[in-house]
Amino acid sequence: MPFAVVFENVTKRYPTGPFRRGGVEALRGVNLRIPRGAVVGLLGPNRAGKTTLVKLLLSLSRPTSGTITRLDRPASDTRTLAKVGYVHENQHFPRYLTADELLRFYGSLALVPSEALPKQVDRLLDLVGLADRRHEPIARFSKGMVQRLGLAQVLLNEPDLLILDEPTEGLDLPGRRLFRELVALQKKRGCTVLLVSHVLSEVEQVCDRIAVLVGGRLMKEAPLSDLLRDPKGNGTRPLEHALQPLYEASLG
Give DSSP secondary structure letters for the chain.
--EEEEEEEEEEEEEESGGG-EEEEEEEEEEEEEETT-EEEEE-STTSSHHHHHHHHTTSS--SEEEEEETTEETT-GGGGGGEEEE-SS----TTSBHHHHHHHHHHHTT--TTTHHHHHHHHHHHTT-GGGTTSBGGG--HHHHHHHHHHHHTTT--SEEEEESTTTT--HHHHHHHHHHHHHHHHTT-EEEEE-S-HHHHHHH-SEEEEEETTEEEEEEEHHHHHB-TTSSSB--HHHHHHHHHHTTT-
Q: How confident is residue 250, by pLDDT bands cut at 50, 70 and 90?
A: low
Q: What CA–CA distance (Å, rounded) separates 195 from 65? A: 24
State how beta strands 161-165 and 192-196 pair.
Answer: parallel
Q: What is the reported pLDDT for 15? A: 83
Q: Cα separation of 112 and 107, whole Å?
A: 5
Q: Exposed, middle or buried, 69 (CB in 10 Å: 0-12/13-18/19+)?
A: middle
- Tell me what the mean pLDDT of segment 223-231 comes to: 90
Give the model confidence (pLDDT) of 202-217 as tens digits: 999 999 999 999 999 9
Give the pLDDT band of residue 249 (cuts 50, 70, 90): low
Burial level of 29, CB count in 10 A (0-12/13-18/19+)?
middle
Span 21-60, pLDDT tens digits: 667 889 999 999 999 999 999 999 988 999 999 999 999 9
| b/e sequence 183-204, b meaning 16+ C-beta within 10 Å | beebbeeebbbbbbbebbebbb
Q: Which long-range contacts (CB under 8 A, 24 or more apart) does 176-182 make?
A: 176/202, 178/128, 178/129, 178/148, 178/151, 179/151, 180/205, 180/206, 182/127, 182/128, 182/151, 182/155
Alpha carbon distance 205, 199 (integer Å): 10
- pLDDT score recorded for residue 16: 78
- In CATH terms, the fold of domain 3-90+159-248 is Rossmann fold (3.40.50)
What span, in angstroms and rounded, lies between the C-alpha atoms of 41 and 39?
7
pLDDT tens profile 4-16: 999 999 999 988 7
Cα–Cα distance between 213 and 47 in angstroms, integer?
A: 9
